[in-house]
Amino acid sequence: MGRTLTYPKKSLNTVKRYAHRATYDVKAIHSIINDSRVLHVSFSPGPEDLFPTTIPMIGQMGSFEYPSADLGEPLDCYIHGYVSARLANLARSSEQGLPVCISASKVDGLVLSLTPFNHSYNYRSAVLHGYAQLVTDDEEKLWALKLITDSVVPTRWDNSRTPPDKGEIAATSILKVKIVAGSGKIRDGGASDEKKDYGNEEVVTRVWTGVVPVYEVLGDPIPNPDNKVEAVPEYIKSYVDEYGKQSQQYALGAVGAKLPEEEQH
């Protein structure tokens, strides 16, 4: 497309501090959401409730109308999880849908500076605001279920017993969130300190500074006691390997470091 879409800055999503870490780039924000295994979905149960409520859910950005849409285009957020009767009623109660805040974050490194004041994380976080509605069209529901299932393990949908039967589809709730604002924050790099500390010989010779990479890996698949497929299928094996490698690569890349194997080439 040759252009980069950004979410408009509104008071709702304007990141005020560390503006150099803020991103309004649609693709970056959507990628953070899609790479997160859990989304935290917040909503206000009602005007008489003081507290917002947050529910951990699973979700993906996508477009049912334009399934081939790129991550850098305007997309809806499809989320799945426990939709209580209360939540379902709230989502139904207005034509626009229920106002929700979706957030996701991932820590990529522990940034250890000379002083606790300058300690930080390398991280990626995204926050979306939008209106949630229950998906009622069966075709759209199926499409969203495949999108979400394949985000757990790519191609898992085709490699499991599909399609779901009518009862399963009816018993599954999917929320579609029309996004009205989004923002993200990305911190990378090493530790930074002030002159009063890095100019202090006693401090710099005593305090180790640097970054401890943090990343998520997948372990060897553990078959169910009643599993009848002898070997772990290739699509699972290669996902396990690739996921760990990419995850480590990102954490190291955030500090400008590389995987040991890469350095040998």
- Give the up-direction half-sphere exposure of residue 36: CA atoms within 13 A in the CB hemisphere: 29
Kindly identify the residues of this chain, within the stretch 12-51, that bind its own copies according to CB under 8 A: 12, 16-18, 37-38, 40, 42-44, 47, 50-51
For residues 70-84, one letter each, b for 16 or more C-beta atoms within 10 angstroms of the residue's C-beta and e for the rest, the string is eebeebbbbbbbebe
Min dist. Cβ of residue 192 to its own copies (A): 8
Is the CA virtual torsion 44, 46, 51, 57 positive or negative? negative
Q: Which is nearer to its own copies, 27 or 40 (CB)?
A: 40
Is the CA virtual torsion 158, 159, 163, 164 positive or negative? negative
Q: Considering only residues 69, 71, 88, 204, which one is a binding residue for its own copies as defined by CB under 8 A?
A: 204
Residue 152 interacts with its own copies (CB under 8 A)? yes
Q: Considering only residues 6, 172, 245, 253, which one is a binding residue for its own copies as defined by CB under 8 A?
A: 172
**What is the rounded CA–CA span in Å between residue 215 and residue 249?**
9
**What is the rounded CA–CA span in Å between residue 255 and residue 28?**
18
Q: For its own copies, what does the binding mask look like between residues 104 and 133, x meaning CB under 8 A? A: -x-x--x-xxxxxx-x-x-x-x-x-x----
CA 123, chain centre distance (Å): 12
For residue 80 the two structure tokens come to 């799945």
Q: Which is nearer to its own copies, 29 or 72 (CB)?
A: 29
- Are 55 and 132 a contacting pair, CB within 8 Å? no
Q: Considering only residues 4, 53, 136, 238, which one is a binding residue for its own copies as defined by CB under 8 A?
A: 53
Of 8, 53, 32, residue with least CA distance to 182: 8
Kindly identify the residues of this chain, within the stretch 90-109, that bind its own copies according to CB under 8 A: 99-103, 105, 107
Kindly identify the residues of this chain, within the stretch 240-259, that bind its own copies according to CB under 8 A: 240, 248, 251-252, 255, 257
Residue 139 interacts with its own copies (CB under 8 A)? no
Residue 229 interacts with its own copies (CB under 8 A)? yes
Min dist. Cβ of residue 150 to its own copies (A): 9
Min dist. Cβ of residue 28 to its own copies (A): 16
- Are 102 and 40 a contacting pair, CB within 8 Å? yes
Q: Which is nearer to its own copies, 4 or 89 (CB)?
A: 89
Can you spell out the DSSP letters for 86-117? Answer: HHHHHHHHSSS-EEEEEEEEEEEEEEE-SSGG
Q: Which is nearer to its own copies, 2 or 116 (CB)?
A: 116
Kindly identify the residues of this chain, within the stretch 176-195, that bind its own copies according to CB under 8 A: 190-191
Q: Which is nearer to its own copies, 4 or 14 (CB)?
A: 14
For residue 171 the two structure tokens come to 């018993």
